[in-house]
Amino acid sequence: MTKKRNILLIGGAGFIGTNLLNAFIDNDAYNMFVLETPFANISKLQHLEKEITIFKGVLADYDLLQSIILDHNINVVIHLVSTLVPGSSYDDYKREFENIIFPTVRLMGLCAEKNIKFIYFSSGGTIYGNNSQGKFLETDLREPISYYGLSKQIIEDSILFEHRRANLRYLIVRPSNPFGPGQSLNGVQGLIAVAIGKIMANEPITIWGDGSSIRDYIYIDDLVRIMYELINKNVENEIINIGSGIGHSINDILLHLRNIAGDKLMVKYETSRSVDVTSVILDISKLESFIEIKNTPLEDGIRMFYNDVKLILKI
């Protein structure tokens, strides 16, 4: 009988983490463990409590991390946690460095020592910066213009250094803009989710700039399936873009939402921000060399997300 693999999700109660958990617990080949901060809302995990093991603690608690990893024979660590968004300030970045970046670098050393694969969710939306000549390849320059993107770049570079220094086994994924059920409607990140939240609250959505900025979007079920396959196929020591490979402007998204919600969508345009890049479309040809891509059409994904929210809110 094949031995089960033990996976630790750091930040597993978030939007991507909860959806990943739902995919992996359906497969008997994996045991799933989650580390979340003591103040995290883990209500989304309540239906999984009998099938996963949840630990409360902070990434900076190295002794706790070490005991979890060693006592439970963790084979794979998936790092999902970040406290920053593209609009975060320098003070936010300093706290991120102390509480997330440096503890993550320390964790990499432990993973390298124990031959544990380290999977890092970077950013396909901010790490490349404003250099677009079309679609971004994984080998393109990374020139982030926000502290959020800078934090991702630092952790990526630390992973590659630890691979050279101590043969850390790694997988860096750069997802585009995931959206779908489970995403916060009241956050400051995630255009589609925030817009749906505003529609439900009968409030206008604020758009920074004229709505011409272009992004690459991926439905959460597609992102989860792709991650599951990459992990199941044991892809490692690679940096991989994950997206649709198709660009849509903010105004495109608003048009799709208006087609679904009608006059309930209200929009307020504000002066553009310096931290927002103008165009990010990911080249996914490398991803396609590993797995077959069958992404959900954007409007279908938005409609499913919208209807899911209506069902939950009983509207």
Identify the helix (H) or strand (E) that includes residue 291. none
146 with 28, same domain?
Answer: yes
Domain membership of residue 288 (yes or no) is no
pLDDT band, very low/low/confident/very high, at 278 (cuts 50, 70, 90): confident
Domain membership of residue 284 (yes or no) is no
111 with 257, same domain?
Answer: no
Q: Does the structure show a pLDDT above 80 at 105?
A: yes
The 10s digit of each residue's pLDDT in 281-295 is 999 999 999 999 999
The 10s digit of each residue's pLDDT in 202-253 is 999 999 999 999 999 999 999 999 999 999 999 999 999 999 999 999 999 9
Which CATH number belongs to the domain containing residue 260 in this structure?
3.90.25.10
- Which tokens is 24 given? 């992996």
Give CA separation, 155 vs 204, 233, 235, in Å.
36, 24, 19
pLDDT band, very low/low/confident/very high, at 274 (cuts 50, 70, 90): confident
Q: Does residue 70 or residue 50 have the better pLDDT?
A: 70
The pLDDT value given to residue 311: 92
Q: Which of 218, 206, 149 is nearest to 179 (CA)?
A: 218
Q: Which of 31-35, 49-53, 147-151 has the lowest mean pLDDT?
A: 49-53
Mean pLDDT of 62-72: 97
Mean pLDDT of 151-176: 98
Q: How many residues does the chain have?
A: 315
Domain with 234, as residue range(s), is 5-177+217-242
What is the rounded distance in angstroms from the CA atom of residue 146 to the CA atom of residue 253?
A: 23
Q: Locate tokens 């255009």: which residue?
A: 191
A 10 A CB-CB count for 211 gives 16
Q: Which of 79-83, 89-93, 129-133 has the lowest mean pLDDT?
A: 129-133
Mean pLDDT of 37-61: 91
Q: Does the structure show a pLDDT above 70 at 1?
A: no
Share of the chain above pLDDT 90, in %: 82
- Which tokens is 35 given? 């580390």
143 with 49, same domain?
Answer: yes
Domain membership of residue 306 (yes or no) is yes
What pTM, to 2 d.p., does this model score?
0.95
Identify the helix (H) or strand (E) that includes residue 156. helix 147-166
85 with 163, same domain?
Answer: yes
Q: Does the structure show a pLDDT above 90 at 302?
A: yes
Q: Residue 121 pairs with which residues in a beta bridge? A: 173
The pLDDT value given to residue 2: 62
Amino acid, res. 122? S
Q: Which of 161, 156, 160 is nearest to 173 (CA)?
A: 156
Domain membership of residue 289 (yes or no) is no
